[in-house]
Amino acid sequence: MVLTDFGRKCIALVVDDTPDTLGMVSAALEDSGITVLVATDGKSAIELTRRVEPDVILMDAVMPGMDGFETCRELKFGSDPVTTPIIFMTGLTEKERLLEGLASGGVDYITKPVVVEELIARLSTHIINSRLLQSARDALDTSGRTVLACDLKGTVLWGSQKAIDFLNTTDATALGPDWKMWVAECANRPVSSVQPYETSELTFQYIGMTASPEILIKPMRRVSHSKEHVLAEAFTLTPREAEVLYWLTLGKTNRDISAILGLSARTVNKHLEQIFQKMGIDNRTSAAVMADRVLNAL
């Protein structure tokens, strides 16, 4: 099985301080058509990952100096986090240590001695899943949408490029204990009942939760006028139409908007018809994209 990406072979980084394991795993991957890079310590692995951006990393858990868990945490949660899936190779059997590997940002683990067929199967699955996720993120960037994904502790896992740019404009201290409490609130309450989290520059709006689970958040620049007022001015909408459009930008269904604004589903549909006509478009997606561009330009 040869995994390629638009004609380019997949690249795997194997990190292990044991020459025998490095040689065996590298040979197996190369036989499967995968380009292999190797590192014998955590620091070298980080440097290689920053330069080359491998498609997958196979990480030995126990290494002298910076072990695999610490290396993984630096790659996943450091100053320049990567999205590359990290699979641990470990001889450890204690449940706590295995859980530590997953908590540090790993997606899977394989016990030593490595079974080659199992290694290739798991690696292929994670590469494919990673590509699908990256395609979804690229689509968000292309459409100009702003979305962040956080874990249940408030740690940012990934985001569209515009969302990351927004995040970089806010003071890091503003995403402290209060931020973690707000994210926890998002995980335990309906979307419509969670008030936005605000910093001096940005407003963060909770928009939903995935099955992973990941908390999905929309960052927006704070404006002196309400978002609804801005949309009304931009597209010559009535105040009610602007409210409907605003909730549409947050990914709400007609049923959600109906419940939030206390309107009948028929009335929401009528408002949407008027909104589409005034904006010169004919579908929800186009309306949401155009409205997002207006709000994000503020």
Burial classification of residue 128, based on how many CB atoms lie within 10 Å of its CB (0-12 exposed, 13-18 middle, 19 or more buried): exposed
Same-domain status, 134 and 151:
no
Tell whether the torsion through CA atoms of 220, 207, 287 and 143 is positive or negative: positive
Q: Which pLDDT belongs to residue 7?
A: 45
Q: Which pLDDT belongs to residue 6?
A: 40
Q: Which pLDDT belongs to residue 135?
A: 67
Structural domain ending residue among the three candidates 88, 108, 138: 138
Q: Which pLDDT belongs to residue 287?
A: 92
Structural domain ending residue among the three candidates 168, 196, 221: 221
Same-domain status, 276 and 161:
no
Q: Which pLDDT belongs to residue 41?
A: 92
Structural domain ending residue among the three candidates 157, 192, 221: 221
228/239 Cα distance (integer angstroms): 7
- Domain holding 166: CATH number? 3.30.450
Our count of domains for the chain comes to 3
Same-domain status, 78 and 153:
no
- Domain holding 258: CATH number? 1.10.10.10
Domain encompassing residue 62: 4-138
Same-domain status, 11 and 128:
yes
- 8 Å CB contact between 150 and 215: yes
Q: Which pLDDT belongs to residue 188?
A: 84
Q: Which pLDDT belongs to residue 205?
A: 87
Q: Which pLDDT belongs to residue 1?
A: 47
Q: pLDDT for 239-289, tens place per residue?
A: 999 999 999 988 888 988 998 898 998 999 999 999 999 999 989 888 988
Q: Which pLDDT belongs to residue 195?
A: 87
- Host H or E run for residue 90: strand 86-90
Report the C-alpha dihedral over residues 172, 219, 209, 133, rounded to 10 degrees.
-90
Residues of the chain with pLDDT under 70: 1-8, 92-97, 132-144, 170-174, 211-212, 223-225, 297-298
Q: Which pLDDT belongs to residue 237?
A: 94
Q: What is the pTM of this model?
A: 0.51
- Domain holding 107: CATH number? 3.40.50.2300
Whole-angstrom CA distances from 185 to 81, 148, 167, 221 are 25, 16, 20, 22
- 8 Å CB contact between 257 and 246: no
Q: Which pLDDT belongs to residue 139?
A: 60
Same-domain status, 163 and 268:
no
Q: Which pLDDT belongs to residue 297?
A: 65
Task: Tell me whether strands 11-15 and 35-39 are parallel, antiparallel or unpaired.
Answer: parallel
Q: Which pLDDT belongs to residue 126?
A: 83
Same-domain status, 280 and 251:
yes
Same-domain status, 43 and 160:
no
Same-domain status, 92 and 132:
yes
Q: Which pLDDT belongs to residue 71?
A: 93
Same-domain status, 202 and 124:
no
Same-domain status, 66 and 121:
yes
Same-domain status, 202 and 237:
no
29/112 Cα distance (integer angstroms): 16
Same-domain status, 250 and 292:
yes
